Amino acid sequence: MDREMGSGVTSWAVEHKQHLLMYDTVDLFWSLFSWNIFSVFRKTQHSLFVVKITCEGRRQNSVCLASGVTAMDHKHQCVALNDGYFIPVLGFGTSVPDKVPKSEVIKATKLAIEAGFRHIDSAYIYQVEEEVGLAIKSKIEDGTVKREDIFYTSKLWSTFHKPDLVQPSLEQSLKKLQLDYVDLFLIHFPLPLQSGMSLLPKDEQGKAISEAVDLCDTWEAMEKCKDAGLTKSIGVSNFNCQHLEMILNKPGLKYKPVCNQVECHPFLNQRKLLDFCKSKDIVLVAYGAVGSTRDRWTDQNTPILLDDPVLGALAKKHNRTPALIALRYQLQRGVVALVKSFNEKRIKENMQVFEFQLTPEDMKILDDLNRNVRYYPVEDVFYGHPNYPHFDES
Q: Which of 23, 85, 124, 126 is catalytic?
A: 126
Q: How many CA atoms lie within 13 A of 323 on its CB side?
A: 17
Output the CA–CA distances (angstroms, integers) from residue 110 to 92, 119, 218, 225, 245, in the order listed.
11, 12, 33, 28, 38
Assign residue 192 a region: left if phi > 0, alpha if psi is -120 to 50, beta otherwise? beta
Where b means 16+ CB within 10 Å and e means fewer, 332-367 reads: bbbbbbbbbbbeeeebebbbebbeeebeeebeebbe
* Structural element, H or E, at residue 30: helix 28-34
Burial of 101 by CB count in 10 Å (0-12 exposed, 13-18 middle, 19+ buried)?
Answer: exposed
Contact 81, 281 (CB under 8 A): no
Q: What angle do CA 174, 259, 264 make, to 5 degrees?
A: 105
Residue 126 known to be catalytic: yes
**Beta-carbon-side half-sphere exposure of residue 210 (alpha carbons within 13 Å):** 14
Contacts of 34 (CB under 8 A, 6+ apart): none
Q: How many residues does the chain have?
A: 394
Contact 188, 156 (CB under 8 A): yes
> How far, in whole angstroms, is CA 295 from its chain's centroid?
21
Sheet with 59-65: strands ordered across: 19-23, 48-53, 59-65, 78-80, 86-88
CB 239 within 8 A of CB 387: no
| Catalytically active residues, by annotation | 126
